[in-house]
């Protein structure tokens, strides 16, 4: 048997190549459009969520400041009551040095506490 050589059909090959190129280009364009749409949707969603997170963060910070102020007020009130009791006890003793010591101690605690709470209040602004 002899092998017969066949001439390739160049027109059909060229048409198939052109169709494949067009299909590839269409697929690439569709993929690029889908990616662009996805990125746009993600950016919109991320922006909306970022706004929600910022609003929530502001709410939390304001609540923490209110709680901190209430806590400092309670601390100052409780400390003032405790120091008043300490001064009364020191004054009730018959020993002058005990009275002087308790006055010195309460004075020191008041000054230190005032400075510390003032710093804490300033930090909460």
| 83, part of any domain | yes
Per cent of the chain over pLDDT 90 is: 54
Q: Range with the lowest mean pLDDT among 10-14, 69-73, 91-95, 111-115?
A: 10-14
Number of domains in the chain: 1
Which structure tokens are listed for 93? Answer: 């003793």
| 76, part of any domain | yes
Mean pLDDT of 97-106: 94
Q: What is the pLDDT of residue 75?
A: 96
Q: What is the pLDDT of residue 41?
A: 83
The separation between the first and the last C-alpha atoms of the chain, rounded to the nearest angstrom, is: 100
**Structural domain range at position 86:** 29-123
More confident residue, 90 or 29: 90
| 97, part of any domain | yes
Give 95's Cβ-side CA count (13 Å radius).
6
| 14, part of any domain | no
| 100, part of any domain | yes
| 85, part of any domain | yes
> Contact, 102 vs 82, CB < 8 A?
no
């Amino acid at each position: 048997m002899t092998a017969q050589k066949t001439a390739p059909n160049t027109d059909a090959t060229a048409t198939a190549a052109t169709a494949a190129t067009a299909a590839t280009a269409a697929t690439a364009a569709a993929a690029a459009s889908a990616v662009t749409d996805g990125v746009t949707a993600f950016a919109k969603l991320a922006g909306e969520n970022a706004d929600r997170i910022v609003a929530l963060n502001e709410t939390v910070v304001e609540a923490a400041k209110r709680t901190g102020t209430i806590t400092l007020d309670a601390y100052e009130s409780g400390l003032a009551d405790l120091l008043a009791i300490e001064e009364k006890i020191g004054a009730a003793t018959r020993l002058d040095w005990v009275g002087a010591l308790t006055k010195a101690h309460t004075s020191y605690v008041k000054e230190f506490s005032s400075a510390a709470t003032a710093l804490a209040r300033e930090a909460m602004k």
